[in-house]
Amino acid sequence: MQSHRHQSLEEINQSVAVPDVHQTAFWRKFLAYSGPGALVAVGYMDPGNWLTSLAGGGQFQYRLLAVLALAIIVAMFMQGLAIRLGVVARQDLAQAIASKLPRPVRYAAWILNEVAMMATDMTGVIGTAIALKMLFGLPLLAGILLTIADVLVVLLFLRFGIRRVEVIVLVAILTVGIIFGIEVGRAHVQFGNVLLGLVPTPLIVKNHTALVLSLGILGATIMPHNLYLHSSLAQSRRYDYHNPAQVTEALRFANWDSTVHLIAAFLINALLLVLGGTLFFGHTNALASLQAVFDGLKSTTVVGALASPVMSWLFALALLITGLISSITSTLAGQIVMEGYLHIRLPLWQRRLLTRAVTLIPILIIGMLVGFSDAAFENLIIYAQVALSIALPFTLLPLVALTNDASLMKAHVNRPAVTWVGYGLAGIITVLNIYLVYSLF
């Protein structure tokens, strides 16, 4: 067994000053702690979420909004546990798990999580490449290879410091939200039916397609890399962790930050689902792929008088933005996993190149075997969700166990009800993911 030896993401650990615990200005404290939630929220808006939300709306109009809301509530609970581990124990999830495992098991856990990190990166690569094709007519192969250059974007952003990166990501999220707000605003949305969609319906379990799509929404929403990432980013604030009152306050505002940004992620995914439900319900062929949605938004045959090249272009721009900013979070999450499980620290540019090079290998192999087409690559996104589903129980169960460890968490150990809810949710998600894998294959 190996003990915790260094700070998580040492370059940014305790790098952001926060107000003293005795200061009472709520908004000043909220703004000081706000930021990590934005980076985590990016993981809830990747192309996997786009596909499941658009498909859910196209096939069942607004009736799967309840599933999306439930998935975000579960995500809030799990992200809250990750925050608690980071703030109280001063360890990220990878460090905390690794400290409990013998070396062979630790290496196996690292391999499993590296596969999950690569699956996460794969969705960003494919989403970016498809967006470049939509916007500039770039062949998919060229777009995929061009994503190697996003290491320069990541390095440029990280040179600004984590605080500026958080602001850049927040602006990107707001931009995407505004784009989809405009697109939904132009559509003739049935707001009464949207509100009804937030009420769970028996259709979800009675209809096999609806059930599989619902499981896909859950699988695309709750992902391992977000939990690793949040447990580390929660330590970026320079609070006095020897002061119990300051630790309690850090937990409070970190959870506020997480909740606000996860609500924003829910709204963006809900806008996608509503867009699919309003424009494409009854035209499910238009939702065969992201490219088909792009084409459908400017097709009078599909969306009638609402068709507009501008709306189509904005859709592609939003996809490009989310693909690029996901590079930042996947790089940081990959570094956390490598440092925590192997105690190996690489410069972020080396980590980025390593991750991207390994991610490109299966993409290029599959492309050469079946052709570089939108359908083939979007199937890859689905299989990436399967890889994440398999890795998820090995992340959720240890997270609940660690936050239930009184020797680690002291006064902030889980209450019994939290532990039972945590294990219950982890068990349910595990069973649902097994069923999802079974359904896909």
Instruction: Give the DSSP per-residue string, 6-24.
Output: S-TTTTTTT-EE---TT--
2 pLDDT tier (thresholds 50, 70, 90) = very low
CB atoms within 10 A of CB 313: 16
441 pLDDT tier (thresholds 50, 70, 90) = low
4 pLDDT tier (thresholds 50, 70, 90) = very low
pLDDT of residue 125: 85
For domain 32-440, give the CATH number: 1.10.4160.10
Q: Which residues contact 347 (CB under 8 A, 6 or more apart)?
A: none
CA nearest neighbour of 328 among 27, 102, 38, 70: 38
| Per-chain mean pLDDT for the chain | 85
Asked whether 130 and 374 are in contact (CB, 8 A), the reply is yes
Asked whether 232 and 4 are in contact (CB, 8 A), the reply is no
pLDDT of residue 1: 39
Tell me, what DSSP letter sits at residue 219? H
CA nearest neighbour of 331 among 167, 166, 173, 154: 154
Task: Decide if pLDDT at 251 tops 80.
Answer: yes
pLDDT of residue 263: 95
Paired strand residues for 238: 17
Phi-psi label, residue 330: left if phi above 0, alpha if psi -120 to 50, beta otherwise: alpha
pLDDT of residue 288: 53
Instruction: Give the DSSP per-residue string, 331-348.
Output: HHHHHHHHHHHH-----H
pLDDT in tens, 371-389: 777 777 777 777 777 777 7
State the Cα–Cα distance between residues 163 and 236, nearest whole angstrom.
9
The sign of the CA dihedral 202, 204, 210, 212 is negative
Task: Judge if pTM exceeds 0.85.
Answer: yes
Mean pLDDT confidence for 134-140: 91
For the ranges 42-46, 135-139, 142-146, 274-278, the maximum mean pLDDT occurs at: 135-139
C-alpha 389 chain-centroid distance: 13
The sign of the CA dihedral 350, 233, 6, 2 is negative
